[in-house]
Amino acid sequence: MKCGRTQIKMWTYTLKIEKVAKINNKNNMDLTNALDSENKQRLRIADIARITGVSAGTVDRVLHNRGRVSDEKRKKVETVINQMDYRPNVFARSLSIKKEMRFVSLIPNFEAAGYWEYIRNGINKAQKEISDHRIIIDHHYFDQYDNRSFVVETERILSALPDAVVFSPVFIEESVAFAQQLEQQHIPCVLVDSNVEAINCLAYYGQHSLKSGYTAAQLLFTGLPKDSTVLLTRSVRPNGIGSNQAILREKGFMQYVDEHKLRQSYQIVRVDLYSNDTAKNLRKLRGTAACSPPITGAVIFSSKVYRLVDFLAKVNLLGIKIIGYDELPQNIAALKAGYVSYLIAQRPEMQGYLVVKNLLKHLVYKQQTHRTNYVPVDILTREIVDEYIQFNQRLNE
């Protein structure tokens, strides 16, 4: 009896498709309400071909934007697809793929509960969700303070010939060269955390670095006493160069300063903090602390605002307005203690999750993706940070 009911439903559906095809061929009418939602979910490529009067191959070429199709036929197919709200059964299509696919991620080494661990966790979460699609993700890591380690890992990845690569372009010149080599081998790549316009990537997921820097300036200077000094700090590598992300944030910060002519009211002092030289950092800050006019604010463009707080405490400069980035546990502790005024967060776990899903859509589902995907600029205060962290934890469970 159950089989009989299924057959009746299929016969009824087939008759409805025949009726829709006749109506469309005769009157070329709007088909938005021609089928109910249940029957629209059953719609197949063969059905669209029957309704439009073209071949199934033509419908397939239109759906995947490949091959040659006349403008007239393309318009017919696209009209029916839109009116009938057709959605391809992408899961069934992916199950037909026999080949195992291998993605590679390349991000900096990290400490426990560090920013890059959150990125990696997001990548792993996505991998678990897509395990039925025969996709394996290999993780590679580099020292974000040594561009040579980045190059060594890129060479290993290129020799392995993966199906796709996710990486963070911390070193601009080396990242552009790596992306060009990937392109030559027809390996798609997705950027995470920071964007490089010169890279021809499939997609980017991360903050709008310029706007986040602009926002940091707006937060810092609002209510800040005039005729005072502001410390503009960033973490730099032994060669004195900051990360791509930090450079873009600083650029956005200074854009706000120049647009509002703040150099007339504030003295802005740049202080580079070295990752491997605490004594040098303290000497710099002690010298800066004696400057006139007095220091009333500071910003750091990396995720290490807690280190800035430690340094400022040692030179008796706490009590000023401080802006930092990222919801690391140490940063949150400094925020809740009142040492940091605002944290600007960027949902790193979500970034890692979405880059993998983007590759799945492109390589398995053959769907179009957007090149630039900005995550929200989240502004955290001590009053709301607990709820923010709690919500993100539940979201990522």
For the 101-207+348-375 domain, the top CATH level (class) is: alpha beta
Name the pTM for this structure: 0.77
Q: Residue 206 — left, alpha, or beta (φ > 0 → left; ψ -120 to 50 → alpha)?
A: left
Query: Can you give the pLDDT at residue 1?
Result: 42
- Check residue 37 and give its pLDDT: 53
CATH of 209-345, one of 3.30.1330.10, 3.40.50.300, 3.50.50.60, 3.40.50.2300: 3.40.50.2300
Distance (Å, whole) CA 243 – CA 391: 30
CB 341 within 8 Å of CB 216: no
The residues, ordered by sequence, that sit 6+ positions from 346 with a Cβ below 8 Å of its Cβ are 206, 207, 212, 325, 326, 375, 376, 377, 378
> Which residues belong to CATH 3.40.50.2300 in the chain?
101-207+348-375, 209-345
3-state secondary structure of 364: coil
- Count of helices and strands (H, E) across the chain: 16, 12
Looking at residue 158, the DSSP 8-state letter turns out to be H
**Per-residue tens of pLDDT for the chain, all 397 residues:** 445 555 444 445 455 556 555 555 555 555 555 555 555 566 778 888 888 888 888 888 887 776 788 988 888 888 887 877 776 665 555 555 557 899 999 999 998 888 999 999 999 999 999 888 889 999 999 999 899 999 999 999 999 999 999 999 999 999 999 999 999 999 999 999 999 999 999 999 999 999 999 999 999 999 999 999 999 998 877 666 678 999 999 999 999 999 999 999 999 999 999 878 899 999 999 988 877 789 999 999 999 999 999 999 999 999 999 999 999 999 999 999 999 999 999 999 999 999 999 999 999 888 889 999 999 999 999 999 999 999 988 877 7
pLDDT of residue 171: 94
Q: Which helix (H) or strand (E) holds 271?
A: strand 266-274
Angle at which helices 305-314 and 329-336 cross, to 10°: 50
Question: What is the per-residue pLDDT for 88?
Answer: 64
- Please give the angle made by the CA atoms of 105, 110 and 112, to the nearest 5 degrees: 120
Please give the pLDDT value at position 13. 47
User: What is the dihedral angle through the alpha carbons of 322, 325, 326, 330, rounded to the nearest 10 degrees?
Assistant: -40
Question: How many degrees, rounded to 5, is the angle at CA 124 between CA 367 and CA 185?
Answer: 50
Please tell me the predicted confidence (pLDDT) of residue 154.
98
pLDDT computed for residue 164 by the predictor:
97
